[in-house]
Amino acid sequence: MIWYISKRLLQLIPVILGVTIIAFSLIHIAPGDPARTMLGQHATEKELNEIREKYGLDEPIYVQYGLWLSDVLRGDFGRSIITREEVLDEISSRFPNTIELTIMSMLFATIVGGLAGIISASKQYSVTDYTVMGVALFGISMPVFWLGIMLMLVFGVILGWLPIGGRIDLFIPYTRVTGFMIIDSIITFNLPAFISSIRHLILPSIALGTIPMAMIARVTRSSMLEVLRQDFIRTERAKGLSERAVIYKHAVRNAMVPVVTVIGLNFGLLLSGAILTETIFSWPGLGRLVVEAVYERDYPLVVGCILIFSIVFVIVNLITDILYTYIDPRIKYE
């Protein structure tokens, strides 16, 4: 197991190197001269050359890549062109919000989707089954930004139950400890902040979690149906176990492997969806940061966000692979 994990970690190195090469070449394909961006329109040729020499911009491209990579490895992503803040600071202040959002949506998707799939499978061809599968079919075809707007319209504008944007109400005092607002408000015993941050989290999580929920429901149903047809289920029914025990104690466990795969695969979708959801709900997360950076052609920030996004993405995929062995010990890694 340890061998397998370390081998996979080693295999990540060339992939992440490739990602850095793509990210780096992006800055170079993009139009604009960085020296001129730094000094402005009226700089003389001499000043430009001095800046180029200072930052190594006159070196061949592979040397520049090497310099840039060594900075990145030391955690120096450069500064944002617009705000002049350190890119890493900008990212780390937004990162917890995105993590909170994705975890909440995944919880929503897994619990609701999983239960819907199990119920659907245990009552195959019933009205419930058809309803769940119909909803799931629409769920996978729905654009996340449309769903977000509809949720805002119904629960925010018409019913007025929940806020339609932002992370927390403006006038609520809040002390930052870890950056994760829910955790922070718990450890500082800040009840208003806790309630407000949860209320702001509900609509974005549902919007972001619905597509994965639909996929999880579909996969859980088909996986459950396959398991329910097997002999050991018949044996359990024959020895008189209650239907509830058969389904929840035995069938569900055996049906989990494909579900975990789908949950893992959905993380990529979730990160893509987070970009849209955060834009709709003015959520101060990484997704909105990258979109704003693209609008403003803030390349150091764009590159920083891409690197973080991809690293999170490959690590999640790795964790998914490793989880299989715990769920299904029959899968052996050599």
Partner 1 sequence: MNRWELLKNSYNKLHSYLKRYSIFHVKYVDGSPRETRTQELVRRFRYNKSAVFGLILILVLVFMAVFADFIAPNDPNPSPPELQNSLQPGFWDENGAEGKPLGTDMLGRCVLSRIIYGSRISLSVGFVAVGIATALGVTIGVLAGYFGRWVDSILMRGVDIIFSFPALLLAIVIVATIGQGLDKAMIAIGIVYSPQMARIMRGSVLYIKEMEYIEAQKAIGSNNIRIIFRHVLPNSLSPVIVYGTLLMASAILDAAALGFLGLGAQPPTPEWGAMLSESRFYIVSGAWWAATFPGIAIIFAVLGLNLLGDGLRDILDPRLKS
Chain residues in the site for partner 1 (CB under 8 A): 14-16, 18-19, 22, 26, 29-30, 137-138, 140-146, 149-150, 152-153, 157, 164, 268-269, 271-273, 275-276, 279-280, 290-291, 294-295, 297, 302, 306, 309-310, 313-314, 317
Toward partner 1, which CB reaches closer, 5 or 142? 142
Toward partner 1, which CB reaches closer, 42 or 229? 229
CA 44 – CA 50 distance, rounded (Å): 10
How far, CA to CA in Å, does 298 sit from each of 6, 24, 25, 184, 216?
Answer: 36, 14, 15, 31, 37
How far, CA to CA in Å, does 200 sit from each of 119, 165, 167, 203, 220?
Answer: 30, 7, 6, 7, 30
Asked if 165 contacts 149 with a C-beta cutoff of 8 angstroms, the reply is no
Shortest CB 44 distance to partner 1, Å: 29
SS3 27: helix
Shortest CB 314 distance to partner 1, Å: 5
Shortest CB 25 distance to partner 1, Å: 9
CA 116 – CA 119 distance, rounded (Å): 5
Toward partner 1, which CB reaches closer, 19 or 246? 19
Toward partner 1, which CB reaches closer, 22 or 331? 22
Shortest CB 42 distance to partner 1, Å: 26
Asked if 106 contacts 203 with a C-beta cutoff of 8 angstroms, the reply is no
In DSSP terms, which residues pair with 86 in a beta bridge? 79
Radius of gyration of the CA atoms of the chain, in A: 24
Toward partner 1, which CB reaches closer, 181 or 276? 276
Shortest CB 145 distance to partner 1, Å: 5
Toward partner 1, which CB reaches closer, 15 or 245? 15
